[in-house]
Structure formats: structure tokens, C-alpha cells
């Protein structure tokens, strides 16, 4: 299995989750500007959209999009998903919210001139504020780290690096998750630590 990733992008969430789940995989770095893979090759031959992540299985089948890959990881490692009758669906609900309300706004925010980023930045902060209320017991689903936390961590970590004034308890949330062995390993493998 191969995970195609770009250092510091949201594919970091999938990288973290795969390490947490102890799934064996090779990491293939992608240059998003040139669309070239580490060691040569066109990334668009793997994922025609050119976006990361992409997960290539040993039979050549490819799965893309954070929500799909993180859901697959949670299916393989149920300890990384919320429990209960609606656990899987609550996870999909949360992953979809993170993808559509926070993640999708960052490319727009980063492509705008600084003087007109205000509204998009406010929208991003609104959704971080909305999710801050879910972190009172440590993680999005209480006291247990899930694949959704890997996704939210990457976005909050990146937002903090961009200077976003994230609401509490995000400072503690980022710091706590950053200390997890899988997170430290992923950051090192991506050259970010």
C-alpha cells in the first residue's frame, strides 16, 4: 500500500491515522506544483485531480479524498472511531463537516490577496469555534482520539502556523495531539519536525 502525500497538507491527517492504526504502507511524497512524485513519475497518473491524499492498494486500486481514506482507516482500526449504534455515521458526519466547512475554505483563503482574506478567515474561525465546544472532554468524540481528530489537528495546526487566533481549547488540543508518537513520527517522515 502507498500513501501519496505532500508535506504539511491535509494528507498529513491520513498519514497520522495510518500510523495510529499500525497499517503498513510506503509514503510517497508529491510535489504539488510540478505534480511529480518522489523518485519520478507523474502524480496525475495516480490521481487525475492532482490533489493529495491518494491511497494506492497493492492491486493498483486508488482511493482519494480525506473523508474516504479516513473512514477506511477507521473501519480497519475501530478503536479510531466513535462507538455506538450511530458511531460510523457520526464519524462520517464529522469528517464531512471538517472537509466542507474548514478544509475547503483554506485554498480560497490562501489564494486571496491579504487585504481581502477577512470574510473567508472569519468563516474558518467560525467553524473552529463551533468545533471548540466539542473538545471539552479532550477530543471530538470525548476521551478517545479518532481519525477525525487527526484531520482537525492538521487543519488547526496549519491555521495556528498561519497566525489564526484559534479559540480555546485549541492551543491545548494541538499541543496534546502533537505529542502522540504517531504524530511525531508523521511529522518527522514529512520533514516537518
Place of cell 500500500: 1
What's 113's DSSP letter? -
Q: What is the mean pLDDT of residues 147-156?
A: 98
Q: How far apart are CA 175 and CA 173, in angstroms?
A: 6
pLDDT digits (tens, 9 = 90+) for 35-71: 999 989 999 999 999 999 999 999 999 999 999 999 9
CB-based contacts of 151: which residues, under 8 Å, 6+ apart?
10, 13, 66, 70, 95, 98, 99, 103
pLDDT digits (tens, 9 = 90+) for 3-27: 999 999 999 999 999 999 999 999 9
pTM attached to this predicted model = 0.96
Q: How far is CA 135 from the centre of its chain?
A: 17
pLDDT digits (tens, 9 = 90+) for 112-139: 998 899 999 999 999 999 999 999 999 9
- Note the pLDDT of residue 90: 98
Place of cell 508529491: 30
pLDDT digits (tens, 9 = 90+) for 73-113: 999 999 999 999 999 999 999 999 999 999 999 999 999 99
For the record, the C-alpha cell of 107 comes out as 485554498
| 48 in Cβ contact with 186 (< 8 Å) | no
| 172 in Cβ contact with 132 (< 8 Å) | no
| 113 in Cβ contact with 60 (< 8 Å) | no
Fold held by 83-180: Glutathione S-transferase Yfyf (Class Pi); Chain A, domain 2 (1.20.1050)
With residue 161 as reference, give the H or E element that holds it: helix 147-161
End-to-end alpha-carbon separation of the chain, Å? 24
User: Does 193 have pLDDT greater than 90?
Assistant: no
Angle ∠(95,52,166) on CA atoms, nearest 5: 50
Q: How far apart are CA 176 and CA 158, in angstroms?
A: 15
What mean pLDDT value characterizes the chain? 97
Domain borders along the chain are: 2-76+182-189, 83-180
Which of these, 147, 176, 172, 192, lies nearest to 16 by C-alpha position? 147
Q: What is the mean pLDDT of residues 156-169?
A: 97
Phi-psi group of 39: left, alpha or beta (phi > 0 → left; psi -120 to 50 → alpha; rest → beta): left
Query: Does 3.40.30.10 match the CATH number of domain 2-76+182-189?
Result: yes
Query: What backbone torsions phi and psi does residue 63 show, to the nearest 5 degrees?
Result: -115, 135
- Note the pLDDT of residue 155: 98
Amino acid at each position: 500500500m502507498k500513501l501519496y502525500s505532500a508535506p504539511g497538507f491535509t494528507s498529513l491527517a491520513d498519514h497520522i491515522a495510518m500510523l495510529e492504526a499500525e497499517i503498513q504502507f510506503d509514503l510517497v511524497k508529491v510535489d504539488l506544483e510540478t505534480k511529480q512524485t518522489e523518485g519520478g513519475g507523474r502524480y496525475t497518473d495516480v490521481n487525475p485531480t492532482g490533489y493529495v491524499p491518494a491511497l494506492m492498494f497493492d492491486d493498483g486500486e486508488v482511493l482519494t479524498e480525506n473523508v474516504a481514506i479516513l473512514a477506511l482507516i477507521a473501519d480497519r482500526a475501530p478503536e479510531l472511531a466513535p462507538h455506538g449504534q450511530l458511531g460510523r455515521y457520526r464519524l462520517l458526519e464529522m469528517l464531512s463537516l471538517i472537509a466542507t466547512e474548514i478544509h475547503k475554505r483554506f485554498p480560497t483563503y490562501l489564494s486571496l490577496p491579504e487585504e481581502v482574506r477577512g470574510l473567508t478567515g472569519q468563516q474558518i474561525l467560525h467553524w473552529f469555534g463551533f468545533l471548540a465546544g466539542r473538545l471539552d472532554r479532550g477530543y471530538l468524540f470525548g476521551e478517545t482520539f479518532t481519525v477525525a481528530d487527526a484531520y482537525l489537528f492538521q487543519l488547526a495546526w496549519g491555521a495556528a502556523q498561519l497566525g489564526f487566533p484559534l479559540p480555546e481549547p485549541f492551543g491545548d488540543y494541538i499541543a496534546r495531539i502533537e505529542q502522540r508518537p504517531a504524530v511525531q513520527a508523521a511529522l518527522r517522515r514529512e520533514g516537518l519536525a
